[in-house]
Each structure stands twice: as structure tokens, then as C-alpha cells.
Amino acid sequence: MAYPKFDEKELKVVGEVPNFMGPPTPLYDFPVSRKEAYIATMKRKPIWQITDIESRMVCPKANPDNIARAFVFEDTPMPPEQGGGKDMFGIEWVYVPVAGGSMVKPGNPLLKDANEWKEKLVWPDIDSWDWESSAKNINLSSSDQFNMAWFLNGWFERLISFMDFDNAVVALIDEDQKDAVKELFDRLSDLYIKIIDKYLEYFPGIDGFCIHDDWGAQKDTFFSPDTAMEMIVPAMKKVTDYLHSKGLIAELHSCGMLEKQVPSIIAAGWDTWTPQAMNDTQKIYELYGDQIIIGVIPDKFPPDASEEEQRAAAAAYVEKFCRPGKPSLFSYYGMELLTPAFREELYKRSRIKYSEI
């Protein structure tokens, strides 16, 4: 589909959205909906540079994990201090106010050995969850944004919740436990697919899923790429294949220094990933941006940069990271750079560049 050429009239501000970090964010007179622009980027036929306004997060209270993790996002929000409690497997989480999130109650892991999972795990009855209440509190029909369902506690994260970190990371490489872990991860994938179907039944406006599975810390990944490929990638691929069969986008949220894991992430079938700031996101884009859409952190400018300097920084981003067939996402780890001048210049120049395709 050919989109119209950029017109200066598009810069007219026709609305705004709240910005918890500062003044409201302007909405321009876009030529298409924000959802259409997001989907076009995922199809590698971008219309403008995607930032923080084209998508919205869906995280229903019906899923016990979201309450346990204090991560519920419905039209009427749940205060995070109401978080904590048992997740879908009955694991107890404790909300930590200073961290703004929850952690598993330490010291009493359900599993000491992965081979115990068949006898000790109680699998959730997802039909008993209160889907109706969440459906009444999440209205996606009037939104022109891309609706991304966030799904916490992926495969390795789930194993940590069962075993605590030290036992979980050993289980990935212990020859006596590896087969049990693989079987568990495959069973988890089957469960996640059933939950995805429930989301699509009760929230039919969902366009994609962002699934969490942290793989690293500040300086390195928790396990080798070979371990990821053998132990986790097949289970992930089962879910991403299913999402793609439904015409949905599959986004990975994975924290830590994961530069060496990017081939594993690609092999697992993810459409997009936004690395944390300890990664060289610009290098990852150069190496792999033709295989996966990367959230790129731009070169930073000082807080007292002039408007001219801010616009020059936006122009440099467009030149480097707005390439036909190789688009990027503007990383949410660089959102402090989205000043009014930078945002306007980024939109204008990316619209011009992409409309020349």
C-alpha cells in the first residue's frame, strides 16, 4: 500500500496523551491510525518512526500473575501496593514498595530438583479466572493504538519462581535435570497458548503479545547461547509460531546484557526486542536489524542542548536507524530524549524518508 507524502499540515496538534514523566505528549494529525503505523513497522514497511504513543499495554487482573507481580493495567488501574500474593501456580510473591515490584517469597522453593515438577506442580485452572470482570474494565474497541498484551513469567523466569535462581540455573545444565526442564518448558508453552486463546476471546482487540523472560544481569547473560538454543528456544518457538499463526506480533521483553544471545532470540521467532541500556543497541541494530526489529537508544544530548541541537540529534537518528526494510523502534530506555523539538523533527524527517520508498 502506498501512503501519502508528508504534508506540513500533519504537524498540527490534534490531541495529547498523558505523560507521567512530564508535560502531555502531543498527537499530530497523522495520515493513518497509530495502530496502522505500528503494524506497518512490524511488516517492515514503516510510515514514521515509532516512539511511545503508538501502542498501549494490556495486562488484565484476571491473570493471577499480574496481581502477584503488581503489574495490572486495565482502564481502571490497580494500585501497585495491592500487588503480591499467589501467582497462577500458587507461588507466593511479596510486593516491595522501594522496588515498585514483587519478588518470590524467599527461602522455600517449591522444587529442589526439576525432576519433581510432575508430582509437585498444581497446574492452574484458567477457566476459573475472573475473565468477565477484566473484560468489562478493558475497552479496546475505541483505541486507535496497537494493543500489546504483556505476559509475565516466561520460561526461565517461571523456573526461577519454582526453584529459586541458583537451583534453576543449575537445572539448565545438569544432565540429570535437563530432560525434565525441557519437558516442563514444553508443557508451559501449551499452557501459555491456552491462556493466549483466553486473552483473544475476552479481549478481541489485542494485536500482539510481549512475553517476559529475563536472561541476564548487568554484565553478562545467565547462561550460554548453546544452553539457550537447546533448553529454551524450542519452547519459545512453539508459542511464537502460534502467535504468528493468529496474525499476532510476538515481542520479547528480556533484561540484561544479552548481546551474545541475539541469535537465540531470533531463532526463537521473536519479531521485536528492546535491549536494556547496558547493551550496545546501535551495534545490535547494525548486526541484526534486518532479522529482528530492535529498540534503539539514540546518541544522547545534554539537558541544556539548544532546540537546534535537539533537532540535529533527531535528524541523525533518522539517518542511521530509519532505513527502508530495516526499521527500528525508539527505545523506551531513551524516552527522556523525546523533547517537543526532537519528537517533532523525528516525526517529520522519518515521514519524509519513509514516504520516499
pLDDT, tens only, 54-105: 999 999 999 999 999 999 999 998 999 999 999 999 999 999 998 889 999 9
- Give the length of the chain: 357
Any idea where the domains of the chain sit in the sequence?
Answer: 62-273
- Res 128: pLDDT: 98
CA–CA dist 275, 333 (Å, integer)? 9
Return the C-alpha cell found at 307: 532546540
- Res 156: pLDDT: 98
- Res 22: pLDDT: 73
- Res 213: pLDDT: 98
Return the C-alpha cell found at 357: 520508498
- pLDDT tens for the chain, 357 residues: list them: 567 899 999 999 999 988 776 788 999 999 999 999 999 999 999 999 999 999 999 999 999 999 999 999 999 989 999 999 999 999 999 999 988 899 999 889 999 999 999 999 999 999 999 999 999 999 998 889 999 999 999 999 999 999 999 999 999 999 999 999 999 999 999 999 999 999 999 999 999 999 999 999 999 999 999 999 999 999 999 999 999 999 999 999 999 999 999 999 999 999 999 999 999 999 999 999 999 999 999 999 999 999 999 999 999 999 999 998 999 999 999 999 999 999 999 999 999 999 986
**Alpha carbon separation from 181 to 7, 172, 264, 268 (Å, rounded):** 55, 7, 18, 17
What is the SS3 assignment for the chain? Answer: CCCCCCCHHHHCEEEEECCCCCCCEEEECCCCCHHHHHHHHHCCCCCCCECCCCEEEEECCCCHHHHHCCCCECCCCCCHHHCCEECCCCCEEEEECCCCEEEECCCCCCCCCHHHHHHHCCCCCHHHCCHHHHHHCCCCCCCCCEEEEEECCCCHHHHHHHHCHHHHHHHCCCCCCHHHHHHHHHHHHHHHHHHHHHHHHHCCCCCEEEEECCCECCCCECCCHHHHHHHCHHHHHHHHHHHHHCCCEEEEECCCCCHHHHHHHHHCCCCEECCCCCCCHHHHHHHHCCCCEEEECCCCCCCCCCHHHHHHHHHHHHHHHCECCECCEECHHHHHHCCHHHHHHHHHHHHHHHHCC
Q: What is the pTM of this model?
A: 0.96
- Res 32: pLDDT: 96
Side-chain-facing half-sphere of 316: CA atoms under 13 Å = 12
CA 27 to chain centroid, in Å, comes to 23
CATH 3.20.20.70 fits 62-273, yes or no: no
pLDDT, tens only, 203-229: 999 999 999 999 999 999 999 999 999
Parallel, antiparallel, or unpaired for β 25-28 and 13-17? antiparallel
pLDDT, tens only, 293-317: 999 999 999 999 999 999 999 999 9
CA 40 to chain centroid, in Å, comes to 18
C-alpha closest to that of 149 among 140, 158, 141, 157: 140
- Res 3: pLDDT: 78
Q: Are 299 and 314 in contact (CB under 8 A)?
A: no
